[in-house]
Amino acid sequence: MESSVYTRKAQYYETDQMGVVHHSNYIRWFEEARVDFLERIGTGYKEMEAAGIISPVVSVSCKYRAMVRFADTVRISLRITAYNGIKLELAYQVRNAETDALCCTGESSHCFLGPEGKPVSLKKDYPQYHALFMNYLQEEEQ
């Protein structure tokens, strides 16, 4: 599904002295891709936060496979690997847009918290957001 691919160009400030994108930036790219993805499926962070929901990162990991250099364009694809209304898990792939080489893979997990900072169930407490995730998952299965 096109909503799960985010494209960006590596910026000079993201590189180290060797001209290679510094490892810490991949985690930022995952977040950019995630924010973009959520907006595309209709449940962006801004809207959810206005409704009183926050979705912190519970864990994140990254495995580096090939270097990305300044001015390389990458495609960051993501997919939902688990969702139950309380927790969301995503997998990421970063590929060179020109060569399709796999540069990095990663995962992140998130929970949903209400205004008091306590876990909430989107299925129970915010069914409109739960429906958006379920619709995306159903479309992915087809």
**Counted domains in the chain:** 1
Predicted local confidence at residue 140, as pLDDT: 85
d(CA 138, CA 27): 27
- Domain of 64? 2-141
The pLDDT of residue 1 is above 50: no
Pick the closest to residue 113 from 140, 73, 131, 86 (CA basis).
86
Tokens of 131: 């429906």
**pLDDT per residue as tens digits for the range 96-137:** 999 999 999 999 999 999 999 999 999 999 999 999 999 999
Which pLDDT score is estimated for 84?
97
Helix, strand, coil percentages for the chain (3-state, nearest 5) = 35, 35, 30
**Average pLDDT estimate for 16-43:** 96
pLDDT digits (tens, 9 = 90+) for 61-110: 999 999 999 999 999 999 999 999 999 999 999 999 999 999 999 999 99
Tokens representing 51 are 């409704």
CA dist 89 and 56 (Å) reads 12
Distance CA 45, CA 25 (A): 20
How long is the chain?
A: 142
Which string of DSSP letters, residue by residue, matches 11-78? -GGGB-TTSBB-THHHHHHHHHHHHHHHHHHT--HHHHHHTT-B--EEEEEEEE-S--BTT-EEEEEE
- CATH assignment of the domain containing 42: 3.10.129.10
Kind and range of the H or E run holding 121: none
Kindly report the pTM of this predicted structure: 0.94
